[in-house]
């Protein structure tokens, strides 16, 4: 409605474009009982006009009749003022609107007493933008949006719309070509191939995780705390084979995954990217909806239930987040308004060479605002406890995977992407300031310095960095036939050269069990399945006691035989076999040992808490180290690995002092699937120097195994600490029948054989 003059008379004019209407009239809301004002039909498509002389602007509705006789009375979308203010737009254009996800996109609003949906989209180069959906027959003529000054934002409040409406934006570029785009800020999407956004509330769930969130806040700043992460792809962790191999929903997954993680002693679950993505085979790493949990497992509220349930069971949730690149799908971000809006125009900056995707323009304020808001929205709306940032190395370097001439140096002539570095520092600083206790984790595969150091110290500001070097070195070592391992002994020791340069998380991730790399079990260097399992058990015990937070991809905990397949469930039937069940039991015991004792779980980043035992016996492929409490030196763990199929008897290892060393983990235990002998639960230290120490222990080192022995001052009078429970200790002392929880008569008989029960040495 506008003030106007017609043939010398002043008044107001009302125009409306109503789909399928054959007649329309203006109804005065503040004058009940007043006659309505008929409108003239100017075009058969439903364009009406009425000039009302002598009237001032008033509140009104439109009453229209359709061609099939229905009568509707509605508000006119263009009778409402914009829902975004100048301050909103200013902060967005400056890249400082941290809650822009509450402003742009589609939001259920009530303007006065009128409910509806407010739509807003950033498309600065567009000549015209319309919102389309089921409510207007996907016809872009019916709801053109209004440009809000020079902000580049287009906005429209459509009254009467409710949750569940499907919509997209029709965007005309400078050449008059129209593109149909889905909402970059959408919170829920329909399945491909249509990919429409769906109006959905994300504020309805009633959270029950208050205790968890309070504890998370109390732990803020404690980076060196126990952290053992179970990495999961929700679509293939478990499936319902009986129902067409369907994926489980968020609500179905929550109790199953929580129970499993608790039973195995994990502290966190890390889920592969759940932001909406069009191609299932991308595992979520090619994102089209940066603010929306994927529809594949349910609604946003269902995902909130998932996180809430895990929190109430004491399990944190880490989400893979992908700000490094995005796919070229025509319906999503690529050339959004006909220009390279989110990506760089120059392919030397904007094209990702490895994945055929596009790289964000981190130097553009609105793009940086979009990505930062994405990160913060997952923490605010879904209570996520950590973001693992994918492919950080590809963000840091302008020449990443590029040959000479295929990249553009920065303003100083260097290869560092200064805009990306500034972006990472900003998002990390904001997360830590606004959501204390949330962990930021970098998957960074190069030697870029200070990744996990504060920005104020010149770092990137992450809490943790994946230790890709240790992962590759240890796997290379264990993939070797044991007879050749002495030639690569340095692969076990080199990592300590840089171990304390970052806050490292030791990882065996999904990337190591796909693309013909073999599963964790089958890549072990051995000729038979028994020795492969022994190798993997030894590797796990070595890594769980080595400094660094822990991460293991699903299936690895029970020694899955085949590579991971994202279209099928894990092979849970393998747990019917003792070897696989034993592997799972070992991982559970290692988690409880690691998380239960501060010597291990709270000293990962303290170089004073680690000391080599004997790291030079490469000829025998034996290596040992000590983990200790640096504050008192009254508690020590000795870890020793024998990575050949040869039993080493009367093997001396230097220890700090006299006393009884209790064998708390023996990966050769029959309980774990081993042959079932060891050191009878522990040994007494001898006053015999070794490895530069005054005392030593004389051990039997079972083949292809790792032993963990624990010593504490006055050990005989000190009760077991959490994580070194009697049950765990008993499993280690596998020489005696009482030391094993047998799975059946055959195992009991094998463990008790005299040939495996050596006399205890004095």
> What's the CA angle centered on 705, arms 702 and 708, to 5 degrees?
95
Active site residue 443: yes
Q: What residues contact residue 578 under an 8 Å CB cut-off, 6+ apart? A: 673, 743, 747
Q: How far apart are CA 248 and CA 235, in angstroms?
A: 7
Which of these is catalytic: 443, 597, 629, 635?
A: 443
Q: Which two tokens stand for residue 651?
A: 């093997």
Answer for the pair 533, 673: CB distance below 8 angstroms, yes or no: yes
Give the C-alpha distances (Å, rounded to integers) separating 348 from 131, 234, 327, 354, 399. Answer: 34, 35, 16, 13, 9
Q: Which residues of 251-282 are buried (b: 16+ CB within 10 A; e: fewer)?
A: bbbbeebbebbeebbbbbbbbbbbbbbbeeeb
Could you tell me where the beta strands, DSSP code E, fall in 206-260? 228-232, 239-240, 246-247
Give first-to-last CA distance, the chain, whole Å: 100
Contacts of 76 (CB under 8 A, 6+ apart): 1, 14, 16, 60, 61, 62, 159
Q: How far is CA 495 from CA 100, 182, 762, in A?
A: 43, 46, 37
Using alpha carbons only, give the angle 504, 269, 538 rounded to the nearest 5 degrees.
60
Structure tokens at 52: 């009302």
The residue among 604, 523, 597 whose CA lies nearest residue 560 is 523
**DSSP secondary structure string for all residues of 474-541:** HHHHHHS-GGGGGGGTHHHHGGGGTGGGS-EEEEE-GGGGSTTS--TTTTSS-SSHHHHHHHHHHHHH
Cα 89 to Cα 71: distance, rounded to the nearest angstrom: 39
Q: Is 337 a catalytic residue?
A: no
Query: How many whole angstroms separate alpha carbon 191 and alpha carbon 43?
Result: 37
Q: Which residue reads 């900056």 in tokens?
A: 349
- Please tell me the distance from the alpha carbon of residue 136 to that of residue 198, in angstroms, as a whole number: 15
64: burial class by Cβ within 10 Å (0-12, 13-18, 19+)? buried
Q: CB 616: neighbour CB atoms within 10 A?
A: 11
> How far from the centroid of its chain's Cα atoms is residue 255's Cα?
19
Give φ, ψ of 600 to 5 degrees.
Answer: -95, -55
Spot the catalytic one: 173, 366, 390, 502: 390
Strand bridging mode 146-147 / 610-612: unpaired
Query: Active-site residues: which are they?
Result: 390, 443
């Amino acid at each position: 409605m506008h003030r106007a003059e017609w043939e010398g008379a002043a008044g107001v004019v009302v125009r409306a474009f109503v789909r399928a209407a054959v007649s329309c009239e203006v109804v005065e809301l503040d004058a009940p009982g007043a006659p309505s004002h008929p409108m003239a039909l100017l075009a058969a498509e439903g364009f009406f006009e009425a000039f009302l002389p002598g009237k001032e602007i008033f509140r009104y509705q439109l009453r229209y009749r359709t061609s099939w006789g229905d009568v509707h009375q509605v508000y006119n979308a263009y009778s409402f003022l914009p829902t975004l203010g100048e301050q909103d737009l200013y902060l967005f254009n400056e890249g400082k609107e941290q809650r822009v996800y509450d402003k742009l996109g589609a939001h259920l609003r009530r303007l006065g007493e009128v409910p509806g949906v407010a739509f807003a989209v950033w498309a600065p180069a567009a000549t015209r933008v319309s919102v389309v959906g089921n409510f207007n027959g996907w016809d872009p003529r019916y709801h053109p949006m209004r440009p809000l000054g020079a902000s580049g934002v287009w906005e429209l409040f459509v009254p009467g719309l409710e949750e569940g409406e499907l919509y997209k934006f029709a965007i005309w570029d400078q050449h008059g070509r129209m593109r149909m785009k889905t909402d970059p800020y959408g919170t829920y999407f329909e399945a491909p191939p249509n990919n429409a956004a769906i109006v959905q509330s994300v504020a309805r769930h009633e959270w029950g995780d208050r205790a968890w969130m309070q504890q998370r806040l109390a732990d803020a700043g404690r980076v060196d705390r126990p952290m053992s992460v179970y990495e999961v792809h929700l679509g293939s962790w478990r499936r319902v084979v009986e129902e067409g191999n369907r994926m489980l929903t968020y609500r179905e997954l929550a109790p199953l995954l929580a129970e499993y993680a608790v039973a195995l002693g994990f502290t966190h679950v890390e889920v592969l990217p759940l932001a909406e993505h069009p191609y299932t085979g991308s595992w979520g790493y090619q994102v089209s909806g940066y603010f929306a949990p994927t529809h594949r497992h349910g609604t946003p509220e269902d995902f909130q239930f998932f996180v809430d349930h895990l929190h109430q069971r004491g399990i944190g949730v880490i989400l893979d987040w992908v700000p490094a690149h995005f796919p070229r799908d025509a319906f999503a971000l690529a050339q959004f308004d006909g220009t390279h809006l989110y990506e760089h125009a120059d392919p030397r900056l904007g094209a990702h060479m490895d994945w055929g995707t596009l790289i964000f323009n981190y130097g553009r304020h609105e793009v940086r605002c979009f990505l930062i808001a994405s990160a913060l929205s997952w923490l605010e709306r879904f209570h996520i406890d950590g973001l693992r940032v994918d492919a950080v190395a590809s963000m840091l370097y302008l020449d990443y995977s590029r040959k000479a001439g295929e990249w553009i140096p920065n303003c100083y002539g260097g290869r560092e992407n200064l805009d990306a570095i500034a972006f990472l520092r900003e998002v990390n600083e904001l997360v830590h300031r606004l959501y204390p206790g949330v962990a930021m984790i970098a998957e960074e595969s190069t030697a870029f310095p200070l990744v996990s150091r504060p920005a104020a110290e010149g770092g990137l500001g992450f809490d943790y960095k994946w230790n890709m070097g240790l992962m590759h070195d240890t796997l290379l070592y264990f993939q070797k036939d044991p007879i050749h391992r002495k030639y690569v002994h340095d692969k076990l020791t080199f990592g300590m050269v840089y171990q304390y340069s970052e806050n490292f998380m030791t990882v065996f991730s999904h990337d190591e069990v796909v693309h013909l790399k073999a599963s964790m079990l089958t890549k072990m260097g051995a000729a038979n399945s028994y020795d492969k399992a022994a190798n993997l058990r030894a590797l796990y015990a070595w890594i769980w006691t080595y400094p660094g937070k822990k991460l293991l991809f699903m299936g690895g905990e029970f020694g899955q035989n085949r590579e991971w397949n994202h279209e099928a469930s894990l092979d849970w039937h393998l747990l019917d076999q003792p070897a696989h069940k034993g592997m799972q039991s070992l991982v559970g015991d290692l988690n409880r040992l690691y998380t239960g004792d501060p010597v291990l779980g709270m000293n990962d980043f303290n170089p004073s808490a680690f000391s080599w035992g004997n790291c030079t016996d490469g000829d025998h492929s034996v290596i040992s180290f000590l983990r200790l409490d640096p504050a008192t030196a009254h508690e020590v763990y000795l870890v020793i690995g024998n990575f050949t199929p040869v039993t080493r008897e009367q093997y001396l290892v230097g220890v700090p002092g006299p006393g009884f060393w209790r064998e708390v983990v023996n990966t050769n235990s029959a309980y774990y699937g081993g042959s079932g002998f060891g050191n009878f639960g522990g040994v007494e230290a001898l006053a015999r120097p070794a490895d530069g120490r005054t005392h030593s222990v004389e051990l039997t080192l079972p083949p292809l195994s790792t032993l963990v022995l624990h010593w504490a001052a006055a050990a005989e009078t000190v009760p077991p600490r959490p994580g070194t429970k009697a049950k765990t200790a008993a499993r280690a002392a596998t020489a005696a029948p009482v030391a094993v929880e047998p799975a059946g008569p055959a195992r009991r008989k094998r463990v008790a054989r005299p040939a495996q029960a050596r006399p205890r040495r004095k």
